[in-house]
């Protein structure tokens, strides 16, 4: 999974770019544009592979499991509006605890979600998620397998910068087999 070693520094470099959001003294009634950084910890889906260790233990690699690091943008029609839209692009990966192999699943994740925020800082959101470049890497212990791109709905319930999410999505591998890659997640969001 060498692409992870390139994408994570690229995400961090993008994260450090200047903010284009409106600064102090700007009109609070106009549209608001800014950046978003997200970290999603997700779990679920079908077991795709099981890795056995020399101590007799094993670990399942689930199709929906993984950590996603994402950057994107957010838009609100005005500073006072409870409605907003955010679009992100991220990298999702899961790997095993094996010390001599890098076995897991990686993919690019694109999301567009609309949300509604109450004055109490509780909010709900819903939208579409697209996974591309989905690949299982066996690192010499199992064959590498590619999957078709996949699209599914995502819903969120959050408070301030923390949310619970659910994504309903299915993967199809290069041999024609389908796997449930749906997941529940904990999302940390920073808007700037």
Domain ranges of the chain: 32-191
Among 48, 64, 69, 52, CA closest to 144: 48
Based on C-alpha coordinates, what's the Rg of the chain?
A: 18
| Cβ–Cβ < 8 Å for 66, 187 | no
Percent of the chain with pLDDT strictly greater than 90: 68
CATH class of residue range 32-191: mainly beta
Average pLDDT rounded to a whole number, residues 126-154? 96
Q: Which residue has the higher pLDDT, 26 or 171?
A: 171
Residue 40, pLDDT score: 96
Give the model's confidence band at 54: pLDDT under 50 very low, under 70 low, under 90 confident, else very high: confident
The CA distance from 115 to 140, in Å, is 43
pLDDT (mean) for 63-90: 95
Position 53 confidence tier, pLDDT thresholds 50, 70, 90: confident
- Per residue in 27-40, pLDDT (tens digit) is 567 889 999 999 99
Confidence grade of residue 91 (pLDDT, cut at 50, 70, 90):
very high
Tell whether the model's pLDDT for residue 116 goes beyond 90.
yes
DSSP string, 157-178: EEETTEEEEEE--EEEBTTS-E
């Amino acid at each position: 999974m060498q692409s992870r070693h390139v994408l994570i520094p690229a995400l961090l470099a993008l994260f450090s770019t200047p903010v284009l959001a409106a600064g102090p003294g700007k009109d609070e009634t106009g549209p608001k544009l800014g950046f978003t950084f997200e970290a999603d910890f997700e779990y679920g889906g079908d077991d795709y592979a099981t890795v056995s260790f020399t101590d007799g233990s094993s670990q399942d690699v689930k199709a929906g499991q993984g950590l996603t690091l994402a950057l994107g943008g957010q838009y609100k029609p005005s500073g006072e509006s409870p409605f907003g839209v955010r679009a992100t692009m991220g990298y999702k990966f899961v790997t095993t605890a094996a010390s001599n192999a890098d076995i897991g699943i990686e993919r690019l994740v694109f999301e567009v979600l609309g949300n509604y925020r109450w004055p109490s800082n509780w909010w709900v959101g819903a939208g579409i998620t697209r996974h591309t470049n989905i690949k299982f890497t066996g690192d010499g212990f199992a064959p590498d397998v590619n999957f078709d791109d996949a699209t599914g709905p995502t819903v969120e319930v959050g408070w301030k910068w923390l949310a619970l999410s659910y994504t309903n999505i299915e993967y199809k591998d290069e041999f024609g087999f389908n796997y449930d890659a749906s997941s529940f997640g904990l999302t940390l969001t920073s808007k700037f």
